[in-house]
Amino acid sequence: MRSIRVGLIGWGTVGCGVIQVLRENEADIRNRLGVPLELRRVADLDIDRPRPVSVPRDLLTNRIDDILNDPDIDIVVELIGGLDAAREVIRRAIDSGKHVVTANKALLAHSGNELFRVAAERGRAIGFEASVAGGIPLIKALREGLAGNRIQTIFGILNGTANYILTRMAEGGLSFEDALGEAQQMGYAEANPALDVEGIDTAHKLAIASALSFGTPIRFDEVYTEGISHIDPDDIQFGEEFGYSLKLLAIARHMDGRIETRVHPTLIPRHHVLASVKGAYNAVHVQGNAVGNIMLYGMGAGMMPTGSAVVGDLIDLARDILGSTPGRVPALAFQPDRLAEIAIKPIADVSTCYYFRFSALDQPGVLSKVSGILGKFHISIAAVIQKGRRKASSVPIVMLTHEALESNVRAALAEIDQLDIVTAPTQIIRIENQETNNFF
């Protein structure tokens, strides 16, 4: 049989990784498939700019149509990013009878349901391993390795930029701004880092992973999302005094007929394995009713790890082409007509433990006023650190709570922040520990 031919659209960092993996591992890939996996064409708007991985001139084009209209190309790899243009590329590739591989988590979070439906109707498949957790094979684990399980919980660190920033704030005592600047110098953060530091990138990935886990359509708009730009080094230090580390976590649970999907800074016990995940690394915990608790760990981004995930999808699709079994594994793990519109639990209905840092005047009766309001809203205090004394100035009062309802917490803090003894809005960070999660 002839080779399986690939057209690559987007010759950027990940595109270079894909080309490098195909070259370095060409013999192994051919031995696994039985036929060559051939890079037929590479398209990019700028084909003259130097890259870390070169491409023969006769393979290059600045016309996407040279790939989409080539009847010999079996699989199109979309690596241009963004929403509208990438969506059009994927739709046209599918309409022209080609399978697709993409690393575009934002596109799938917004339009994945539509694209998967169209692909299935055309008898084509979309590979998207690289869209979540970079080189970590999380998608394959959820779709295939754990197919015999009812997934109960998935949570972890899904953004290397945010994790690097929080690591530097914790270990170097840096402010958020200084840690972000360092991440940008290191190449971990973009010039406009909002998608990473505001939790949006993580929410894209969680929306995809939770759909795969729980058999429901992708619903990015219903993921509660909160970033790390408001985090102060003092909060990291106080958390450490209580025995916690701070991470930006993606959390999804299927409990009592509803799903929690939330992304926010989270304090986790310092002894938990996720607390040791530092720098730009990712890690994901999955709990299945049969397998129990497992964790996947590795580089969540980068040229070669992400290139590895894309090539893994290429090999999977090539095997399906060779076996005439496209769409053998449903895109979202469950058969399309069995996906369920499971209710998403609003953040107001979530119960967890909390960290509060109040800024209050240093005078008698402050603690009793604050604790009285918390008690009024059924919020029980687990631990307190009170710093002082500073006459005529505010001091931090730090509290940890037992499990409480988010709506009660919001109501209590709204009342506390109106007290004349409170000088700034209360800082709030959620906590995951043994009281709220049996992983800890």
β-sheet bridge partners, residue 157: 283
Tokens, residue 188: 């971990």
167 labeled part of a ligand binding site:
no
Tokens, residue 268: 């986790």
Contacts of 279 (CB under 8 A, 6+ apart): 160, 163, 164, 167
Instruction: Encode burial over 106-144: b for 16+ CB neighbours within 10 A, e otherwise.
Output: bbbbbbbbebbebbbebebbbbbbbbbbbbbbbbbbbbe
11 labeled part of a ligand binding site:
yes
15 labeled part of a ligand binding site:
yes
372 labeled part of a ligand binding site:
no
12 labeled part of a ligand binding site:
yes
Q: Comparing C-alpha atoms, which of 306, 290, 318 is closest to residue 133? A: 306
190 labeled part of a ligand binding site:
yes
Within 13 Å, how many C-alpha atoms sit on residue 373's CB side? Answer: 17
DSSP per residue, 293-353: EEEEEEE-SSHHHHHHHHHHHHHHHHHHHHTT-TTSS-TTSS-GGG---PEEPPGGG-EEE
Q: Quick check: helix, strand or coil at residue 399? A: strand
Tokens, residue 380: 């029980």
Q: Calculate Rg over the CA atoms of the chain.
A: 24
112 labeled part of a ligand binding site:
no
353 labeled part of a ligand binding site:
no
365 labeled part of a ligand binding site:
no
Residues noted as catalytic: 205
Q: Is 205 exposed, middle or buried (0-12, 13-18, 19+ CB in 10 A)?
A: buried
CB 89 within 8 A of CB 76: yes
Instruction: Give the number of other Cβ atoms within 10 Å of residue 411's Cβ.
Output: 16
Q: Which residues are annotated as a binding site for L-homoserine?
A: 190
Q: Which residues does the annotation place in the binding site?
A: 9-16, 105, 190
Residues making up the annotated binding site for NADPH are: 105
Binding-site residue positions for NADP(+): 9-16
